[in-house]
Amino acid sequence: MNKRLFKIVPAMMMVLILLAMTGCAKKDQDQTTNTEAVVEEGTETTSVEGNETEVQETEDGTGTEGEVPTPTQAQEEATATQETPLVEGGIKDVYEQYSIKAGTCLSDAMITQSKYTDLITENFNSITLENFMKPDYVLNKSKSIEAGEIVVEFTKKTTDLLDWAKSNGMSVRGHVLVWYSQTPDWIFYEKFDKAQGLVDRDTMLARMESYIKQTFEQLDTLGYTDMFYAYDVVNEALMEDGSYRDCLWKQIIGDDYIWYAFSYADKYAPESIKLYYNDYNEQFKTDAIVKLAQSLVDEAGKSLIDGIGCQGHLYTKDSIDSYMLTLKAFSALGLDVQITELDVSLGTWQKIDSASEDNLKAQGQYYFELVNKIVEGNAAGTTSVSGITYWGFADNLSWRRDRSPLLFDNSLKPKYAYFGALQDHDNAGY
Ligand code: GLA
């Protein structure tokens, strides 16, 4: 599809030049006027939700077993968008003008078919493995038991995905070292055996240090280090009330497990890999995240954290203004900020809207306005967002496929959302 549409570009450019010459191309002017009206005044942020994986993830991270749903008729009609030419170079070239990396998550299903890889290489210059760098996939139980100490060994799927990234010139965000979820329980027990008791604090700290050290060593040994520019050291440690989430890391080590994770990452990661705290519902946890980030300094007063990752699992009825306040608060810390898992579901988390034409247009406008405000914020120096990673690109591959949250529809047609993300105002559903 890409290729075919790209052929239309030169012809379209001629038309645009002609329009411009006749004074009809008022895109910039329209853009300024229309963005103001995107989100109704006073729209409330939607309430807080958990970030449980509502759709059961399969091993390949593409969702519930059985799966890929056929699009409903409404979806097909609504998403059969105009054959608008894609901008050559896609999202990545547009964002590059603003020094923002353009990313997608990557699953093994996505690298098996050229219809997916074409879209990825055309639009993105950064990837995050959707699943295969999570602790579940890099910690090896039988080898740990055999060695009597924790052993990191990337799975074949992990290296396949990293090899693909390498051969396609991608930058990589590492995701994730320390997290309460998708982490094997056995790492917390004596002899790596759940029938035994939990280990003590010192043992767990030693295991954490070894795990983090081995991860960076393995990246180096396998020749991947140069691709990595960011790493999520800790994910989702905070609750909306500002307290620390209960988990085995915290139970065994104490609240300072986060500090130790950053301290070890700082010790073993090369300077070129920036270290991030990453969380969801960041607009409801802003103060807590700010406080945590400020506490991550070493004995000499040096910051152990480089950036804050905002997952950005949003809904079309979430307030963009409120979201921008969060990005500004994080940026004001002098840290780098990245949107790490962006998807914009239809409606609110309590009430998902149907994929009607109007709702998909609202989604296109939402993407347009969000990215536009980030670009404006960066230019004004009020935000320092250096990367926007989408949590996938096609609805049918999304963990939230029931909410049509992404840029391309189930048959890989670009949605209004795509043009919004691309900052193509006229095609973004206005
Ligand atoms: C969280 C994690 C991601 C992923 C999503 C669901 O946001 O950080 O890695 O598991 O949940 O896809």
Give the domain CATH number at 182. Answer: 3.20.20.80
Distance between CA atoms of residues 88 and 274, nearest Å: 30
- Please say if the pLDDT value at position 54 is more than 60: no
- Residue located nearest, by CA, to atom 8 of ligand 1: 235
List, for residues 332-341, the tens digit of each pLDDT value: 999 999 999 9
Degrees, nearest 5: CA angle 334-337-338:
170
pLDDT of residue 218: 98
Atom 1, ligand 1: residue with shortest CA distance: 51
The residue whose CA has the least distance to atom 4 of ligand 1 is 130
- pLDDT at residue 39 greater than cutoff 70: no
pLDDT per residue over 245-298, tens digit each?
999 999 999 999 999 999 999 999 999 999 999 999 999 999 999 999 999 999
Q: Give how far Cα 145 sits from Cα of 107, 150, 249, 280, Å.
A: 29, 8, 20, 34
Residue 7 covered by a domain: no
Q: Is residue 45 part of a domain?
A: no
Containing domain of residue 226, as a range?
87-427
Ligand 1 atom at minimal distance to the Cα of residue 235 = 8
Residue 230 lies in a domain: yes
52: in domain: no
Q: In the predicted model, what is the mean pLDDT of residues 138-150?
A: 98
Please identify which residue in the block is written with the tokens 């767990």. Answer: 204
Q: Is the dihedral of CA 253, 50, 366, 69 positive or negative?
A: positive
Average pLDDT over residues 362-387: 98
**What is the distance in A from the centroid of ligand 1 to the CA of 61?**
10
pLDDT reading at 143 higher than 70:
yes
- What pLDDT shows up at residue 24? 28
Q: Within 13 A of 327's CA, how many CA atoms are on the CB side? A: 29
> Does residue 186 register a pLDDT over 70?
yes
Task: Tally the domains of the chain.
Answer: 1
Which candidate, 332, 329, 317, places its Cα nearest to that of 288?
329
Q: How far is the CA of 57 from the centre of ligand 1 (A)?
A: 10
Beta carbons of 103 and 407 less than 8 angstroms apart: no
Give a yes or no: residue 223 inside a domain: yes
Q: Is the pLDDT of residue 319 over 50?
A: yes
Give a yes or no: residue 221 inside a domain. Answer: yes
Residue 42 clears pLDDT 70, i.e. is over it:
no
106 Cα: distance to centroid of ligand 1 (angstroms): 12
What DSSP state is assigned to residue 266? H
One-letter amino acid at 206 equals A
Candidates 51, 105, 342, 345: which one to mutate for ligand 1, based on the most atoms within 8 Å of Cβ? 51
Is it the case that residue 20 has pLDDT exceeding 70? no
The pLDDT assigned to 100 comes to 98
- pLDDT-derived band at 65 (thresholds 50, 70, 90) equals very low
* Separation of alpha carbons 372 and 369, rounded Å: 5
DSSP 8-state class, residue 350: S
Distance of alpha carbon 87 from the chain centroid? 22
Mutation test residue for ligand 1: of 49, 52, 53, 132, the one with most atoms within 8 Å of CB: 53
Question: Which residue pairs, CB below 8 angstroms and at least 24 apart, start in 59-62?
Answer: 59/131, 60/107, 60/108, 60/109, 60/131, 60/157, 61/107, 61/108, 61/109, 61/130, 61/131, 61/132, 61/399, 62/107, 62/109, 62/397
CA of 282 from ligand 1 middle (Å) equals 14
3-class DSSP state of 269: coil
Using CA atoms, how far apart are residues 338 and 331, in angstroms rounded to an integer? 10
Q: Which atom of ligand 1 is nearest the CA belonging to 399?
A: 12
Which positions are catalytic? Answer: 236, 341
201-226: per-residue pLDDT in tens?
999 999 999 999 999 999 999 999 99
| pLDDT at residue 41 in the model | 28
Q: How far is the CA of 312 from the centre of ligand 1 (A)?
A: 11
CB 344 within 8 A of CB 311: no
Spatial contact of 261 and 233, defined as CB atoms under 8 Å apart: yes
Please give the structure tokens belonging to residue 235: 């994910």
| Torsion angle (degrees, nearest 10) of CA 316, 320, 322, 328 | 140
Contact (Cβ atoms closer than 8 angstroms) between residue 300 and residue 263? no
Residues touching ligand 1 (Cβ under 6 Å) are 51, 53, 175, 235, 280, 311, 341, 399
Nearest CA to ligand 1 atom 6: 53
Whole-Å CA distances, 321 to 260, 324, 377, 408: 34, 5, 12, 25
pLDDT digits (tens, 9 = 90+) for 393-424: 999 999 999 999 999 999 999 999 999 999 99
**How many angstroms separate the CA atoms of 410 and 399, rounded?**
13
Distance from C-alpha of 47 to C-alpha of 45, rounded to nearest angstrom: 6
Q: Would residue 121 count as lying in a domain? A: yes
Pocket of ligand 1, candidates 57, 178, 238, 341: which has the most ligand atoms within 8 Å of its Cβ, to mutate? Answer: 341
Q: Is residue 192 part of a domain?
A: yes
